[in-house]
């Protein structure tokens, strides 16, 4: 039968007979239920998402899709593309969505410096669909899959080109 031991700052702790006070976790310490719950809530993606919906421009807000932010409309298309990739036995990892003016300028600077990870000249911020969250870049698990995903994206009505197989955008 359990007995109840009292600890400062704790209502009551159930203790099994035979467990010494030294073996019991301290009340209100690292193992405190309330501290664990608060930490879990603060780190919960749904709570963080409710507190922070992502960047906002005017009346447009962006939704977090994996590691990137895009418009709600593009978010739905990216989910369809991911599901199609899985059906094809592969995957796509999204690498870029909404970009701030500073991020777009940094990309242009890297292109000018000859960075091989930036193979095409990025558009100025005002002309890029990334500036509105209406474009996303992704890396498919194979070149063949990238081409199939691009064809599927075009069937969905998205903008896509084999010259930039990583780039998907709303028209």
CATH of residue 63's domain is 3.30.1380.10
Q: How confident is the model at residue 31 (pLDDT cuts 50, 70, 90)?
A: low
Q: Is 91 helix (H, G, I), strand (E, B) or coil?
A: coil
- Domain tally, the chain: 1
Residue 68 or 33, more confident: 68
Which residues, 6 or more positions from 2, have their beta carbon under 8 angstroms from its beta carbon? 14, 15, 16, 17
pLDDT value for 13 = 45
Position 17 in a domain: no
The rounded mean pLDDT for the chain is: 80
Please say whether the beta carbons of 153 and 94 come within 8 A: no
Q: Which residue has the tokens 């009346």?
A: 59
Position 33 in a domain: no
Position 25 in a domain: no
Could you report the per-residue pLDDT of 39-88, keeping only the tens digit for each? 665 555 444 444 444 555 555 678 999 999 999 999 999 999 999 999 99
Which residues, 6 or more positions from 115, have their beta carbon under 8 angstroms from its beta carbon? none
Residue 140: which domain range?
A: 56-169
């Amino acid at each position: 039968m359990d007995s109840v031991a009292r600890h400062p700052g704790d209502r009551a702790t159930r203790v099994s007979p035979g467990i010494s006070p030294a073996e019991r976790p301290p009340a209100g310490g690292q193992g405190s239920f309330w501290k664990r719950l608060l930490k879990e809530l603060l780190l919960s993606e749904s709570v963080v998402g409710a507190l922070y919906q992502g960047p906002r421009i005017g009346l447009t807000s962006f939704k977090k899709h994996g590691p990137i932010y895009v418009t709600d409309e593009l978010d739905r298309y990216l989910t369809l593309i991911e599901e199609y990739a899985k059906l094809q036995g592969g995957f796509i990892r999204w690498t870029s969505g909404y970009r701030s003016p500073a991020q777009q300028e940094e990309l242009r600077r890297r292109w000018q410096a000859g960075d091989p990870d930036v193979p095409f000249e990025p558009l100025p911020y005002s002309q890029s669909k990334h500036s509105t969250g209406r474009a996303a870049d992704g890396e498919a698990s194979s070149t063949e899959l990238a081409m199939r995903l691009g064809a599927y994206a075009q069937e969905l009505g998205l903008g896509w080109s084999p010259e930039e197989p990583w780039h998907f955008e709303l028209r």
